[in-house]
Amino acid sequence: MSTTVPLNAQVCNLDSLPSPPHVAIKVIELSKDQDKGVRDLSDVLSLDSALSAAILRIANSTAYSRGRVIDSIHQAVSVMGAKATVAVALGFSLKQSFPSWSHPSGLSGELLWRRNVATAVASRSLVRLLGNGNEQRAFLCGLLSRIGQLVLHTAAKDAYERVLSESDTCFPSPELERKHCGLSHHEIAFTLLSHWKLPDDVCEAVRDWGEVVEGRKTDSPLTSIVTVADAVAGLLTGDNQALELERVRVLADSLLGITEHEIERMFMSSEEELKSTLSVFGDPHSDQINCEAILEEARQRLILMSIGLAADLATANNKSTQLEEANRSLVETANTDVLTRLPNRAALQKETDALWECWRRNPARRFAVVMMDIDHFKSFNDSKGHAAGDRVLQGVGRALRDVARGTDFVARYGGEEFTILLANAHPEQAAIAAERFRSAVENLKVSFEGETLSVTASFGVAFSGDIPEAQSFEEFVEAADKALYISKRGGRNRVSFYGPMHGA
C-alpha cells in the first residue's frame, strides 16, 4: 500500500515550494503595473546577464527579428512586446531555479522543460491559427503547463519517484499522482501560480487542462488550447508517436474544430520557432528536430497499428519497412495529382469534408476558399501541344506550393483549375494571400523546347463569414467560382471577391 502525502502536508505548504527568482518577481510586478514601460522592464532584465542573453536570442529568432539585428535589451523588449518578454523571462528564470534530475522511467527535468516549451510554442501557434485570443497569454500557459511535475519532484521527491516507477509512461496520469502524492501536478501548479499572483485565467488554465485530458468538458478556450498544445508537444516527447498523433487529431477536432490536416500543417510550419525557442531554453537537441519526419513516422506507425501489425514491429523490421514504403506509396498515389504533385480532388474532398464539419460546429471559425483558373490555358495546348500545357500546369503547381503558408491547403481541382483553402483568414488577409498567389503565377517563367512561356491566372475568393447560412461546403466553392468569373470578365489576371459589395 502506497504512502500518500495529504493535501495539507509538505507538498501544499507554500513555504516549502520554490519561489520565483528575484528578477522573475520584479518582472511579474512590472507586468501588472500599467504605468511601467519598456525602459523599466529592460532595466530589470539587464540585472541578469543569462536572462538578457536569452531575451536577445529570442528577439533575433525567426519569430520576431524579420531580418533585423537586435543588439540591446531595450530593442528586444520593444520588438517582442512586454507580454512576450514577461513570458520568456519568467519561464527562463524558473528553469534555472529547478535542479536537474532524471529517473529510470525516462522522465527528467530537461524532458519536462522540452514538453513545456513545445506546448508554449504550440499554444501560440494555435491562437494564430484560430485567430482569436491572446498569443502571449497562451504561450505563458503552455510554458507553465507542467511546472507542477517539477514542483512535485522537488517538494516530494520520494513520493513522486514512486509515481514514476508505477507509471506505464514517462508522463504519469493525474490519478496516479493523487494516489501517491495526494494531489496532481495540475492542482499544485494552481496553488503555486496563485500564490505568485499570476493572472487568474493563466492559473485556471494550467489547473484545468488536466481535467479536459481526463474527459471533462471546458468552456475556457485557453484551457482547450493548452490541452491540444500539450498533445502536439507529445509528438516530440511522448512514448508512442502514433498514439500521440491520434490524440492530437481527436482533441484538435473536438475541442477547437481544427481538421487533422490543419493541425499537422501548423506543427510543421512552427518548426523554426520551436527550434529557436528550445535552443534559448538550453535544449541540447533542438537543432535535430524535423517535424515533417516526426509526422511521417507517426502516420506510418498509425497505419500499421490500424491493420494489426504493431505487435510485429519488433521482430519483423524488414517486413515493416517494406510495408511502410508500400503504404506510403499507396496513400500518396491516392491523394496526389500525378502531374503537379499537389493534393488531388480526392484529397481536397477529404479536407473540405473535415473543414465543413468543424465549421458546422463552430460557425465563428474563419476561413476563405480561393478558386483559381489559368488564363487562356487552351491556347497552350492548341498552339504548342499538350506537352506544353502539362509543363505550364507543373510550373503553376510549383509556384503555388512555393508561396503557400504552412497552414494553406493548395490542391488541383481539375483541368487548369486549382483550389486554395486559407485557414484563419479575415477578408483583408485573404486578399493579401490571393494576391501573393496571383503574383507568383504572373512572375512564373516556364521553359519549353527552348522557349519561355508566360502565364497568368484569375482568382475568386469567398470568405466563410459571407455565407453564414450555408448548407454544404459546395456553396463556398460556388461562391468563389462566381467571384472567379468576375475576374475573367474583368480582364483576367486579377483577384475578385464574392459578396454584395463586389457584385458576385
DSSP track, 374-413: ETTHHHHHHHH-HHHHHHHHHHHHHHHHHH--TT-EEEEE
Angle 55-56-60 (CA atoms, 0-180°, nearest 5)? 120
H-run or E-run covering 459: strand 457-463
Helices (H), 167-316: 174-181, 185-195, 200-213, 221-237, 241-251, 260-269, 271-280, 291-306
Give the CA angle between residues 162, 8, 155 to the nearest 5°: 45
CA-CA distance, 409 to 481, in Å (whole number)? 17
Q: Residue 371: beta bridge partners?
A: 419, 460
pLDDT value for 169 = 84
Domain edges within the chain: 10-18+98-289, 299-335, 345-502
Adjacency order of strands within the sheet including 367-374: 409-414, 417-423, 367-374, 457-463, 495-497
* SS3 at position 98: coil
Give the class (CATH, top level) of 10-18+98-289. Answer: mainly alpha
- Grid cell listed for 27: 518582472
Q: What are phi and psi of 150, to 5 degrees?
A: -65, -40
Low-confidence ranges of the chain (pLDDT < 50): 1-12, 14, 214-215, 309-317, 319-320, 323, 326, 329-331, 501
Model pLDDT for residues 172-213, shown as the tens digit of each residue: 989 999 888 888 999 989 988 888 788 899 999 999 997 765
Residue 68's pLDDT is 75
Terminal Cα distance for the chain, rounded:
72
Q: What pLDDT sits at residue 16?
A: 52
CATH topology of domain 345-502: Alpha-Beta Plaits (3.30.70)
Q: Looking at residue 66, what is its pLDDT? A: 65
What pLDDT is attached to residue 31?
Answer: 64
